[in-house]
Structure 1
């Protein structure tokens, strides 16, 4: 453990933090890389952001994106309703824009939404009447989407939010037609579409290892690993309404999933609040990830507070003007300090 007073000194607003020609320097960490993405990359990890394609015309938005993040996730542009709104009619234009721009900037891209609740909002999907029809639709969607980005997207959230809070499989078009086995089928289809891609199960509300939902995901991953179902990682979405909502077992949960032989990624992080409390919340989450060697990266769900899906909570690392918040320095200093001492 690092002395708590040292953490607080580094995190107290911007005290003790210097900005030189746009680069962030934390005193006491000699030779540290600058910026979130560069610092993470120096530790063999990524620090990414969810990107809205329409905002790529905003110079302030892209300046932060390019300077701070070495990974991007197309925020909603890869959801089922965005990619295949009509059967066998695929549109990848918006997602291509995000992915190709990231690659041009030397950043990686994560894929999401292959099978998620957005499928249940698509009219043609809701009327799939038989198991064979549902299976064909699932396979075609995954094969076309993963195949389109083969070699450009190296990590996919194959199935997201498939379990209920009680640990049971959530009712959905595919669960109703194929049963729980649709999750396994989706992973096998994704592996066939791109054998080199990393495949993740992703969900919210699984950050506390004592909860029924977390235990159900744990058992799912353990079962997949035991039977040779292709799964490489688990994504913890980590949407927290406030720092107080971060469970005390967060680090233990990350470590428990990693012990199953999969990587762990924090995929949609945001923490409501402001000031020192929010900064400490980000420090705690980043520290929990960096302390586990198989926690390979973190994605915040947006760039500035005003870009957030819940902007009223001011949950991100940059304010409306694009200025770094105390939360930014909490995340950055945790990445640097924990790389040496956690």
Structure 2
């Protein structure tokens, strides 16, 4: 194999010429603070000790087709809110294969490096997302015609390179992402790793990630697993099987991309407890709550109240389960939400408007965090 080329230093230096944190002055922080709220009146300030409240860091993916520059490197008020409000960050796309490993012999760490450095400077933890997935893989990988031996070595080398680079700086890794379909069957056709190498590659991915960073917590992550259903049952069975083989799995996370078209998953807490009883950590990792917008494009008060209820019930479920100490919303402002791009009839899915003013959903989360903080004292 040709020597690997790692790209990052030049682009990272360029990115860092644009401040990654709002100027550290009281005036700067106050400028982006909604009227009537003290600087400490934030989600991260309200959270109980040991409980992290996070968000995805906008970049890559759908953003590249939108009429605005990269949010993280260009939008100062956005970065100020990102630092002020959250104690955990997740790269939205910047650690996925197509961005971080765009060619077989080349890595591009610039965007991921910038996020990890931002987190360190703002006393935030990082969730790594993701290592083994069927989507957003580069063409060189999907169309490379590699032998089984080559493909296995490609995955191993990728995990050791990426996880090793951020060793000690990632709290949780989504090692395997969305590996089951809605019926609880492995994605044996869509997922190149499972299709070509068999289900055993899942255990290998966890073993390699553990070896590359023994202190990181290693998770399965998926959507549609909020309730007790065929999909979450499949994860429960797989985790039991892997642990019986001596494979260390630390956690299970539900993405929680919710829609108000459907009822709230009322058995969310009961479902998370099934995994907690195995001694696993659990987490909510990608929460948003989309809705069908009226012709005006502006949600009604009733819609906003229902959305707030969905957000709050999801957080309350997590807070009620032992070991659910990581709660992440998938973006915090509608300005950069992925929802309208992928669900054109729906939108307004986040907790802040485009101008970063707060919706009822924000205050619902804040209320639950404050209540939990008071109860845990």
Q: TM-score, normalised by structure 1?
A: 0.87
Cα distance between partner residues in 1 of 2:374 and 2:247: 35
1:39 pairs with 2:46? yes
- 1:193 matched residue in structure 2: 212
- 1:96 matched residue in structure 2: 113
* 1:323–1:243 CA distance, 2 compared to 1 (3 A): farther
- 1:307 matched residue in structure 2: 336
1:109 pairs with 2:126? yes
Cα distance between partner residues in 2 of 1:37 and 1:245: 28
Q: Mind listing any 5+ residue stretches in structure 2 that lack a counterpart?
A: 1-34, 60-69, 292-302, 341-345
Cα distance between partner residues in 2 of 1:38 and 1:21: 11
Cα distance between partner residues in 1 of 2:306 and 2:242: 38
Q: How many residue pairs align between the two structures?
A: 314
322, 325, 330: which one pairs with 2:359? 325
> How far has the Cα of 1:124 moved from its partner?
3.0
Contact 2:58 / 2:71 at 8 angstroms: preserved in 1? Answer: yes
- 2:77 matched residue in structure 1: 60
Secondary structure class of the residue paired with 2:215:
coil
> How far has the Cα of 1:121 moved from its partner?
4.6
- 1:141 matched residue in structure 2: 158
Cα distance between partner residues in 1 of 2:181 and 2:277: 24
* 1:132–1:310 CA distance, 2 compared to 1 (3 A): same
Range moving further from structure 2, 169-178 or 140-149: 169-178
> How far has the Cα of 1:339 moved from its partner?
4.7
Cα distance between partner residues in 2 of 1:52 and 1:179: 33
Cα distance between partner residues in 2 of 1:303 and 1:200: 23
> How far has the Cα of 1:168 moved from its partner?
1.2
Contact 2:175 / 2:218 at 8 angstroms: preserved in 1? Answer: yes
> How far has the Cα of 1:192 moved from its partner?
1.0
248, 269, 272: which one pairs with 2:287? 269
- 1:10 matched residue in structure 2: none
- 1:154-165 matched pairs, under 5 angstroms: 154-165=171-182
> How far has the Cα of 1:167 moved from its partner?
1.0
Cα distance between partner residues in 1 of 2:370 and 2:160: 39
Cα distance between partner residues in 1 of 2:130 and 2:257: 17
> How far has the Cα of 1:99 moved from its partner?
1.1
Q: TM-score, normalised by structure 2?
A: 0.79
Cα distance between partner residues in 1 of 2:143 and 2:208: 21
Q: Deviations over 1:238-292 (max 9, x none)?
A: 1011274421111111111111111001011101244211111111000000011
Q: Mind listing any 5+ residue stretches in structure 1 that lack a counterpart?
A: 1-17, 25-34
Range moving further from structure 2, 287-296 or 55-64: 55-64
> How far has the Cα of 1:236 moved from its partner?
0.7
